[in-house]
């Protein structure tokens, strides 16, 4: 190799960066797209980084956003590296051909983690496989928890979402120098990253920045402002400070994280509880993103790839033994699920009739999964004239109890099953053929806008990914979703439609 091959150098609007050649692709890690969001910039919208002279080394992942650790029960399944430092608004680029002129498709990735955890340095998100297959891959860190999604009377809302927008604007201005085509950008994410993707493509300020979007196990939504305020007040009470950005900005970071972890300890997508979320702010999020995308004409021309896993709820209930506890609660758990999903008795009764073999936990889990994911994503696909492609992931983990749980598909989409962090969810011996099928579909979508199966239409085609060769089914779970439609007709418009996902 020549010296240039050993150390690729690319110029950005803020200065030059030096990456590394790894596995045949160029990797640039920890590139700042905005200034550190601390000191006078804490709880404020992102601003550009200070330009630097010379060449900045981009060989290591940059600092991760402040976040509490996963509980011991969840840490056995989910990796969440911590890189210390203030310069946490950074991103990474994997490219097969650094330098202008290549004009390759681009995939920008927003990690999940309930808007409170996660980072771009999670090994499952290694972008080398996308770069290997001709896609410039960008992964982004953004502010989390109260730093990114706290709602205060004296600061703008949705700081973390504004970070993501700043990263997209950086991609627009910079990615051609890394070999990418700024007119062929696919924005994607899983769970909270998918929710963020939905909000961004609906945002007026992001129009023209995204050509396609991928929503994995997350639907566009707006959280209730009062619920987010209550989360902030819970933290403020623990810290004995006012619930203002000015007071929170003076708080010790470690104490703030500890109070945030305590305030959200009982939060669960299935059971509800306090949580952070994206809110309507009259600016970046002028209305509910799902309504904007289905009724307001937002994101014209943007093609969508979206879907879910068959047993999303098992990642939320299996750790810590919640699955068995919900089964023991029986009718009490079903009543709580009905309240959680804002649905009538007939919906719950219909699920029990359709699946008499299912236990209480499975019934509750599927009810909540439909409420959070399948209903709003069906609505999104139905409400768009642009092509939409829908999938369901059904391969069950080789670990006991997890089934086809939330986040299991990530190792297959990234073709990163060889890393230990993928095996934390999948177990040993996951089928490489499934990774080949999913990864190639995502590459094809980012490249051509067509993942390889029939686009959504009134017959509801859904590509099912399992150990066997992928197949397309029609009307998957339409019987269950019809129960919600009938319920809405009885209980009023919108019943069973408002969703909230944390994961």
Q: Give yes or no for a contact between 138 and 93, defined as CB atoms under 8 angstroms apart.
A: yes
Q: From CA 64, how far away is CA 81, in angstroms rounded?
A: 8
Beta pairing class for 388-393 and 303-309: parallel
Q: From CA 209, how far away is CA 182, in angstroms rounded?
A: 8
Q: pLDDT tens digits, the chain, 503 residues: what are they?
A: 334 467 999 999 999 999 999 999 999 999 999 999 999 999 999 999 999 999 999 999 999 999 999 999 999 999 999 999 999 999 999 999 999 999 999 999 999 999 999 999 999 999 999 999 999 999 999 999 999 999 999 999 999 999 999 999 999 999 999 999 999 999 999 999 999 999 999 999 999 999 999 999 999 999 999 999 999 999 999 999 999 999 999 999 999 999 999 998 877 787 777 789 999 999 999 999 999 999 999 999 999 999 999 999 999 999 989 899 999 999 999 999 999 899 999 999 999 999 999 999 999 999 999 999 999 999 999 999 999 999 999 999 999 999 999 999 999 999 999 999 999 999 999 999 999 999 999 999 999 999 999 999 999 999 999 998 999 999 999 999 999 988 876 555 444 444 333 34
The whole-number pLDDT of residue 211 equals 98
Q: Which residues are bridge partners to 180 per DSSP?
A: 104
Three-state SS for 110?
strand
Active-site residue (options: 14, 111, 378, 406): 406
Active-site residue (options: 120, 139, 174, 191): 191
Residue partners of 489: CB distance under 8 A and separation at least 6 = none
Q: Give yes or no for a contact between 235 and 246, defined as CB atoms under 8 angstroms apart.
A: no
Q: From CA 182, how far away is CA 269, in angstroms rounded?
A: 36
Q: From CA 437, how far away is CA 448, in angstroms rounded?
A: 16
Q: From CA 238, how far away is CA 472, in angstroms rounded?
A: 51
Active site residue 191: yes
Q: Which residues are bridge partners to 471 per DSSP?
A: 464
Three-state SS for 54?
coil
Active site residue 295: no
Q: From CA 294, how far away is CA 198, in angstroms rounded?
A: 11
Backbone torsions φ then ψ of 256, nearest 5 degrees: -65, -45
Q: Give yes or no for a contact between 66 and 147, defined as CB atoms under 8 angstroms apart.
A: yes
Q: From CA 374, how far away is CA 219, in angstroms rounded?
A: 9
Residue partners of 334: CB distance under 8 A and separation at least 6 = 348, 360, 363, 364
Q: From CA 397, how far away is CA 404, in angstroms rounded?
A: 6
Active site residue 303: no
Three-state SS for 465?
strand
* Global pTM value: 0.95
Active-site residue (options: 303, 312, 392, 480): 312
Nearest CA-CA partner of 202 in 135, 278, 118, 107: 278
The whole-number pLDDT of residue 497 equals 41
Q: From CA 409, how far away is CA 125, in angstroms rounded?
A: 12
Tokens for 290, please give them.
């799902």
| Phi-psi region at 150: left, alpha or beta (left = phi > 0; alpha = psi -120 to 50) | beta
- Residues 373, 218, 386: CA angle, nearest 5 degrees: 85
DSSP character string of 269-332: TTTB-S-------SSSS-S-HHHHHHTS--STT-EEEEEEETTTHHHHHTGGGHHHHHHHHTHH
Nearest CA-CA partner of 28 in 183, 110, 137, 159: 137
Residue partners of 492: CB distance under 8 A and separation at least 6 = none
The 10 Å Cβ neighbour count of residue 229 is 16
Q: From CA 338, how far away is CA 175, in angstroms rounded?
A: 47
The whole-number pLDDT of residue 259 equals 96
């Amino acid at each position: 190799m020549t010296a240039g091959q050993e150390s690729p150098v690319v110029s950005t609007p803020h200065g030059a960066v030096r990456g590394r050649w790894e596995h045949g692709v160029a990797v640039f890690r920890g590139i700042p797209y905005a200034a550190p969001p601390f000191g006078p910039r804490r709880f404020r919208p992102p601003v550009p980084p200070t330009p630097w002279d010379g060449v900045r080394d981009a060989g290591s992942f940059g600092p991760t956003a402040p976040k509490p650790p996963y509980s011991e029960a969840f840490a056995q399944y989910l990796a969440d590296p911590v890189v210390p430092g203030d310069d946490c608004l950074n991103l990474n680029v994997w490219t097969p051909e650094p330098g202008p002129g290549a004009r390759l498709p681009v995939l920008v990735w927003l990690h999940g983690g309930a808007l409170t955890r996660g980072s771009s340095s999670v090994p499952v998100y290694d972008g080398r496989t996308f770069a290997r297959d001709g896609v410039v891959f960008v992964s982004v860190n953004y502010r989390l928890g109260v730093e990114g999604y706290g709602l205060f009377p004296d600061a703008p809302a949705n700081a973390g979402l504004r970070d993501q927008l700043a990263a997209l604007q950086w991609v627009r201005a910079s990615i051609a120098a890394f070999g990418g085509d700024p007119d062929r950008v696919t924005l994607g994410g899983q769970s909270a990253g998918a929710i963020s993707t939905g909000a961004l493509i609906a945002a007026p300020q992001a129009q023209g920045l995204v050509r396609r979007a991928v929503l994995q196990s997350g639907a566009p939504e707006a959280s209730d402002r009062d619920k987010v305020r209550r989360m902030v007040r819970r933290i403020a009470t623990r810290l004995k400070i006012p619930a203002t950005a000015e007071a929170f900005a003076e708080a010790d970071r470690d104490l703030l994280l500890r109070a945030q972890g305590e305030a959200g300890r009982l939060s669960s997508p299935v059971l509800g509880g306090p949580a952070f979320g994206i809110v309507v702010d009259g600016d970046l999020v002028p209305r509910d993103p799902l309504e904007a995308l289905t009724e307001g004409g937002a994101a014209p021309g943007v093609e969508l790839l979206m879907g879910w896993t068959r047993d999303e709820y098992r990642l939320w209930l299996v750790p810590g033994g919640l699955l068995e506890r919900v089964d023991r609660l029986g009718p009490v758990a079903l009543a709580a699920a009905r309240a959680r999903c804002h649905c009538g008795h007939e919906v719950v009764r219909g699920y029990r009739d359709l699946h008499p073999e299912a236990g209480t936990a499975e019934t509750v889990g599927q009810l909540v999964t439909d409420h959070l994911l399948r209903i709003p994503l069906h609505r999104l696909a139905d409400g768009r004239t642009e092509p939409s492609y829908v999938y369901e992931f059904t391969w069950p983990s080789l670990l006991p109890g997890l089934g086809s749980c939330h986040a299991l598909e990530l190792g297959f989409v990234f073709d990163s099953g060889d890393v230990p962090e993928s095996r934390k969810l999948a177990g040993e011996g996951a089928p490489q053929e499934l990774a080949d099928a999913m990864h190639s579909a995502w590459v094809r979508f980012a490249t051509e806008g067509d993942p390889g199966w029939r686009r959504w239409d009134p017959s509801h085609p859904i590509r099912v990914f399992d150990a066997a060769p992928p197949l397309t089914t029609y009307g998957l779970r339409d019987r269950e979703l019809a129960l919600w439609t009938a319920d809405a007709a009885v209980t009023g418009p919108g019943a069973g439609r408002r969703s909230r996902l944390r994961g």
